[in-house]
Amino acid sequence: SVMTTLLALVFAVPLAFGIAFWLVEMAPAMVAGPIGMAVQLLAAVPSIIFGMWGFFVIVPVMAHYVQPWARVHLGHIPGVGMFFQGAPYGTGMLTAGLVLAVMVTPFVCAVMRDVFVAMPAQIRESAYGLGATRWEVMRSVTLPWSRPALIGGIMLGMGRALGETMAVTFVIGNTNRIGWSLFSPGNTIASLIALEFPESPAGSLKLASLLALGFILMVISFLTLACSRLLLRRGGA
């Protein structure tokens, strides 16, 4: 669960920031409005649709192109090659991370865009008046001003990725083992509970184990929220 969530954030946060930066600073008004609305509408797409899309589109691409290429060119590098081993089935943690990234990006992008737009125009115009470029304004003025809200948006995306079930179930491989390779199949806590809960008799050890896994997922989410609050407090200080 933690690995797929981190992979999703690695892909989603730079993509969401780039889209938000383009919509606010570079795109014409008649283009930024419709595209921004389209990005926000992606957040309303059901997760099972993303799972089916990942299974029929992303998995074949990973199996035929990405995983064989990574095994040949990266699998022999010491210290790094172990992350790119395994049969090219197309499913695995990396595929699940990519699908989660597509799901998380609209949430993070919407928050970033709203925060960038909410920044007082006088602050941005003052930086431009001093001769700063667009990127310098974003890096030195906008990002420090909006840091707490950006952290909150990223944590919102992390919470969505941690608790996602159906989309991950389609593409992660559903194997109860933990491997070092990004291509190895596995399970998240949410997908395991969804798969095994219908076959767990009332009062059985299996049901108790699934409930314990749910508690562990709740603890992970609580720790994530606590870390975000700590980051926000330091950012405000």
Q: Rounded mean pLDDT of 93-111?
A: 90
pLDDT grade for 180, boundaries at 50, 70 and 90:
confident
Number of domains present in the structure of the chain = 1
- Asked, for residue 38, whether it belongs to a domain, the answer is yes
Q: Is the per-residue pLDDT at 5 higher than 80?
A: yes
Tokens in use for 112? 């970033």
pLDDT grade for 152, boundaries at 50, 70 and 90:
confident
Q: Higher confidence at residue 75 or residue 4? A: 4
* Percent share of the chain, pLDDT over 90: 13
How high is the pLDDT of residue 61?
92
Average pLDDT across the chain, whole number: 85
Tokens in use for 127? 């930086």
Query: 159 with 226: CB under 8 angstroms?
Result: no
- Asked, for residue 43, whether it belongs to a domain, the answer is yes
- Asked, for residue 37, whether it belongs to a domain, the answer is yes
Q: Is the per-residue pLDDT at 113 higher than 60?
A: yes
- Asked, for residue 232, whether it belongs to a domain, the answer is no
Q: Is the per-residue pLDDT at 7 higher than 50?
A: yes
Tokens in use for 206? 């299996």
Buried-exposed string 84-119: b where 16+ CB fall within 10 A, e elsewhere: bbbebebbbbbbbbbbbbbbbbbbbbbbbbbbbeeb
Q: Rounded mean pLDDT of 112-119?
A: 85
How high is the pLDDT of residue 233?
66
Answer yes or no: pTM beyond 0.95: no
What is the C-alpha separation between 186 and 176, in angstroms, rounded?
A: 6
- Asked, for residue 233, whether it belongs to a domain, the answer is no
Q: Is the per-residue pLDDT at 229 higher than 80?
A: no
* Percent share of the chain, pLDDT over 70: 97
- Asked, for residue 219, whether it belongs to a domain, the answer is no
Q: Rounded mean pLDDT of 63-84?
A: 84
CATH number at residue 151: 1.10.3720.10
Tell me whether residue 56 is exposed, middle or buried, using C-beta atoms within 10 angstroms of its C-beta: 0 to 12, 13 to 18, 19 or more. Answer: exposed
pLDDT grade for 231, boundaries at 50, 70 and 90:
low
What is the extent of the structural domain holding 159?
Answer: 1-188
Q: Is the per-residue pLDDT at 117 higher than 80?
A: yes
How high is the pLDDT of residue 237?
47
Q: SS in 3 state form for the chain?
A: CHHHHHHHHHHHHHHHHHHHHHHHHHCCHHHHHHHHHHHHHHCCCCHHHHHHHHHHHHHHHHHHHHHHHHHHHHCCCCCCHHHHCCCCCCCCHHHHHHHHHHHHHHHHHHHHHHHHHHCCHHHHHHHHHCCCCHHHHHHHHHHHHHHHHHHHHHHHHHHHHHHCCHHHHHHCECCCCCCCCCCCCECCHHHHHHHHHHHCCCCCHHHHHHHHHHHHHHHHHHHHHHHHHHHHHHHHC
- Asked, for residue 142, whether it belongs to a domain, the answer is yes
How high is the pLDDT of residue 204?
84
- Asked, for residue 1, whether it belongs to a domain, the answer is yes
Query: 213 with 200: CB under 8 angstroms?
Result: no
